[in-house]
Structure 1
Amino acid sequence: MRILTISLLVATMTLTACGAVRESRVNPLNWFGGSRSTPVQQKTAEETNPLIPQTTRGGLFSSARDAAREYLGTPIDQVSGLVIERVPGGGIIRVTGISEVLGIYDVRLTPADDNEEVDEDGVLTYRLEGVRPARVVRGGTERQRTVMAARRLTDNQLAEARVIRVEGRLNAQTTSRR
């Protein structure tokens, strides 16, 4: 018991000594000095992004990267839910759908038109699509066939849209600005 008391007393005295040597280099809080501002030299020759390489030589996988992959999704049968959640800088469209078959994957919200623009009536339209598996399995419960997808929109996109519409194969869900 005496050894425990002495070792606790020594540890306590050692820790309190750090306050006495506040400006000392022994104190671990002083190992890195305070920050200070220094001017930055401006480059005026040209504006280049240092993160983008300037070489035109292709890499090992450049041919695979150049090939544009086409999305092979087909519309999901029913759109069962549509929720828009506010996030800083915009919103997230979260859509729930029910497919006809099991195993749908790579579910996306794709723009109904090519340029993802709001039409003249203020309607922003998306399609809920997913890729069917090679071997189609019909049946299963509704919960097993339920799929979800989400898409982020900026404040500018939301400001232009009065109505957001998500279409499936059999129905569509819409939500409007309050």
Structure 2
Amino acid sequence: MRRQVIISVLALSLLGGCARVSQSKLNPLNWFGPSQEVAAAQAGPQTIIVPSLAPKRGYPDFQDIRTLVPTLDDVSIVKSASGAIVTAAATLPSVGYYDAELVHVDTESPSELVLDFRVQAPSAVTVVGTKAQRTITVARSISTADLATIRTITVRSASGARAVRR
């Protein structure tokens, strides 16, 4: 019993000393002190020169050589924190297609978003494979600001299109 009392008194005396350490320079949290308001330095506009990575003669005109998928299987829209995610799935004739993307197509109507489902065909003849191996899914994010005006989202393929309306 006497040993427990002595240990308790020593532990309490050490805890009492912690209050002094919290305001001392030994405490790493006190090394910088509180923030103070200072006057902003008056400086003229600064020009920062960043070297360009563009070629000297400019970029050649870009032509998208990818083809539209033959047919669409499904198009769905899922709400997300930043707006919505449009997901499209297609079954292709063989395995090996790559570089799939939903490409935005300019339209006259601001209430309609048109996307082309484009893929790059393989350069060599490949194995046909099972339906699961030939299925490709692609997604595109749409911001909340863009969704405010959009009423119809259409995804196009070579044989037709699928639309989702709200």
What secondary structure is seen at the aligned counterpart in 1 of 2:23? coil
**Which of 118, 135, 143 is the matching residue for 1:154?**
143
Q: Give the superposition deviation at 1:100.
A: 1.6
Aligned residue number for residue 6 of structure 2: none
Aligned residue number for residue 104 of structure 1: 97
What secondary structure is seen at the aligned counterpart in 1 of 2:141? strand
Q: Give the superposition deviation at 1:159.
A: 1.9
For residues 14 and 62 of structure 1, what CA distance do their matches in structure 2 show? 69
Aligned residue number for residue 143 of structure 1: 132
Which sections of structure 2, spanning at least 5 residues, go unmatched?
1-9
Q: Give the superposition deviation at 1:89.
A: 4.2
TM-score by length of structure 2 reads 0.72
Q: Give the superposition deviation at 1:42.
A: 5.9
For the structure 1 residues 71 and 14, does the alpha-carbon distance in structure 2 shift closer, same or farther, using more than 3 Å as the test? farther
Q: Give the superposition deviation at 1:64.
A: 9.1
For the structure 1 residues 92 and 118, does the alpha-carbon distance in structure 2 shift closer, same or farther, using more than 3 Å as the test? farther
Q: Give the superposition deviation at 1:87.
A: 3.2
Residue by residue over 1:88-134, the C-alpha shift from the partner in whole angstroms, topping out at 9 and shown as x without a partner, is 4432222222222211111111123xxx34626x3211110111111
After the TM superposition, which residues 16-165 of structure 1 pair with which residues of structure 2 at under 5 Å, given as runs? 18-41=18-41, 46=45, 50=48, 53=49, 62=55, 66-112=59-105, 116-117=106-107, 119=109, 122-165=111-154
Percentage of identical aligned residues: 25
Task: Pick the structure with greater CA Rg.
Answer: 2
For residues 64 and 107 of structure 1, what CA distance do their matches in structure 2 show? 30
For residues 55 and 92 of structure 2, what CA distance do their matches in structure 1 show? 36
Aligned residue number for residue 168 of structure 1: 157
For residues 117 and 35 of structure 1, what CA distance do their matches in structure 2 show? 54
For residues 41 and 112 of structure 2, what CA distance do their matches in structure 1 show? 48
Which sections of structure 1, spanning at least 5 residues, go unmatched?
1-9
TM-score by length of structure 1 reads 0.68
Q: Give the superposition deviation at 1:70.
A: 2.9
For the structure 1 residues 84 and 28, does the alpha-carbon distance in structure 2 shift closer, same or farther, using more than 3 Å as the test? same
- How many residues are paired up? 157
For residues 136 and 34 of structure 1, what CA distance do their matches in structure 2 show? 70
For residues 75 and 21 of structure 2, what CA distance do their matches in structure 1 show? 62
For residues 99 and 145 of structure 1, what CA distance do their matches in structure 2 show? 5
Moved over 6 A (4+): 13-16
Paired letter, 2:87: R
